[in-house]
Amino acid sequence: MTTLTPVPPRARRSATRAADSEERSNVSTLDRSRRTVRVTTRVLTVLLVVALCVVALGPLLWLFKAALSTSQDILREPFAWWPSGIQWQNLPDAWSQIHVGQYLLNTVWVAAGCWFFGLLVALTGGYGIAVLRPRYARVVNGAVLATLFIPGVVSLISLYVTVLDVPLLGVNLVNTFWAVWLPSAASAFNVLLVARFFAGLPRDVFEAARIDGAGVFRVFWSIVLPMSRPVIGVVSLLTIVASWKEFLWPLLVLPSPDLQPLSVGLYRVSDTAPTNLLMAGMFISVVIPVVLFLVFQRQFLRSAGQAGAVKG
């Protein structure tokens, strides 16, 4: 699939594209010199920006407003800006009364573990499949690829049963973060992404290092890893965002409220918590991803553009 090309060529291409400002799209420079075209594009642009602001940004602004309002104001006058004044107290109240602080900490832990194990599996596996290539690598690659085509619903129940009593080890992972970290690390998509990237690296570098006496680990640590920053970035972004958004799985394997991440915790209290505190909690759980997104928007959009197609 074309969407799985390694990152550097793509990045290089967009760099040259930025440099070459005369790069055309459907509408050519000649078209743009025509008045009707200019006017139409401008009108379309304005319409699109306004519509996107209202539809995409509007709900978030409203959430921000609601997070600092009284429950009364939220329910009675949803469009008014703080008729009873700004309630800064909502944020610390949500933090302590509905334990948003605890959920936030759990979410960060979950994301950190998913990130670490996701990278570990994807990088070592990708290295094995694309660089070391022992004879069994083809089998492993095929078996990894196969899981990509099996819908997640197949293994939901049996995965839960597995986590409840891990075969051979006989441990129960329910109510530990391992139950979220390890299954999320078994991501065929990440392994494939990394393997494709490694396959695009120059082979003679690895071979030269091997001849100089570097072992499997040395080549991985000192040569492959420093070259794989782009793919590490993409995989990190995808795993952290995915773990932050996860709901059903943590709901199943983390029944203890002390361990639940934000999404599960907010769902659990959503029926009983006061509306303003719920909104404040939701706002807190949105702020971090949104700020990260705004700071790293280029990386987010690039990895979504090239990776999202297969992820579905």
Partner 1 sequence: MRENTLTVTAPPAADAPPTPPRDAEPPGRGGRRRSPAAALLSWVRGGGVGTLVMFLPLLLTFGYFAWWPIAKSLILAFQRTDLITEPTWVGLSNFERVLADPLLWTALGNTAWFAVLALVIGFPLPVLMAVVMAELRRTRQITSVLAYLPVIIPPVVSVLLWKQFYEPSDTGLFNSVLTRLGIEPVGWLQEPALAIPSIVVQSTWASAGTATIIYLAALMSIRTELYDAAEVDGASILQRTWHVTLPQLRGVILLMLLLQLIGTMQVFTEPFVMTGGGPENRTVTLLMLVYNYAFLSGDFGKATALSLLLAVGLGLLSAVYLRLTRKWSES
Interaction with partner 1 in 240-259: which residues (CB under 8 A)?
A: 241, 244-245, 247-248, 252
How large is the angle between the packed helices 178-185 and 229-245, nearest 10 degrees? 130
The correct pick among 105, 156, 225, 295 for binding partner 1 (CB under 8 A) is 156
State both tokens at 119.
């990278």
Q: Which amino acid is present at 225?
A: L
Q: Are 206 and 214 in contact (CB under 8 A)?
A: no
- The conformation of residue 20, written as its DSSP 8-state character, comes to -
Quick one: which of 135, 142, 213, 272 contacts partner 1 (CB under 8 A)?
135
28 near partner 1, rule: CB under 8 A: yes
Question: Which of 91, 159, 199, 209 is in the footprint of partner 1 by CB under 8 A?
Answer: 159
Residue 151 or 226: which CB sits closer to partner 1? 151
- Assess 300 for contact with partner 1 (CB under 8 A): yes
263 binds partner 1 (CB under 8 A): yes
Q: What residues contact residue 103 under an 8 Å CB cut-off, 6+ apart?
A: 260, 261, 262, 264, 265, 266, 281, 285
User: Which lies closer to partner 1 via its Cβ, residue 19 or residue 23?
Assistant: 23
Residue 115 found at the interface with partner 1 (CB under 8 A): no
| Positions in 173-192 near partner 1 (CB under 8 A) | 182-183, 185-186, 188, 191
How many residues make contact with partner 1 (CB under 8 A)? 109
- Between CA 202 and CA 205 the distance in angstroms is 6
Beta strands in 132-192 (DSSP E): none
45, 86, 156, 160, 220 from 192: Cα distances, Å: 38, 49, 22, 25, 17
Tokens in use for 66?
């609601």
What is the C-alpha to C-alpha distance for residues 59 and 56, in angstroms, rounded to an integer?
A: 7
Cβ proximity to partner 1: between 97 and 162 the closer is: 162
Does residue 52 interact with partner 1 by CB under 8 A? yes
Interface with partner 1 (CB under 8 A), residue from 109, 174, 230, 293: 293
Should residue 95 be labelled a site residue for partner 1 when binding is judged by CB under 8 A? Answer: no
Cβ proximity to partner 1, 19 vs 294, nearer residue: 294
As a whole number of angstroms, the distance between CA 306 and CA 4 comes to 7
- We find the least distance from the C-beta atom of residue 81 to partner 1, in angstroms, to be 14
Question: Which residues in 204-233 contact partner 1 (CB under 8 A)?
Answer: 204, 207, 210-211, 215-217, 220
132 binds partner 1 (CB under 8 A): yes
Interface residue with partner 1, options 45, 84, 89, 96 (CB under 8 A): 45
Q: Please report the DSSP string for 188-228 in residue order.
A: HHHHHHHHHHHHTS-HHHHHHHHHTT--HHHIIIIIIHHHT
Does residue 91 bind partner 1 (CB under 8 A)? no
Among 104, 253, 254, 278, binds partner 1 (CB under 8 A): 278
Nearest to 277 by CA among 268, 269, 288, 289: 269
Rank residues 93 and 140 by Cβ distance to partner 1 and give the closer one.
Answer: 140
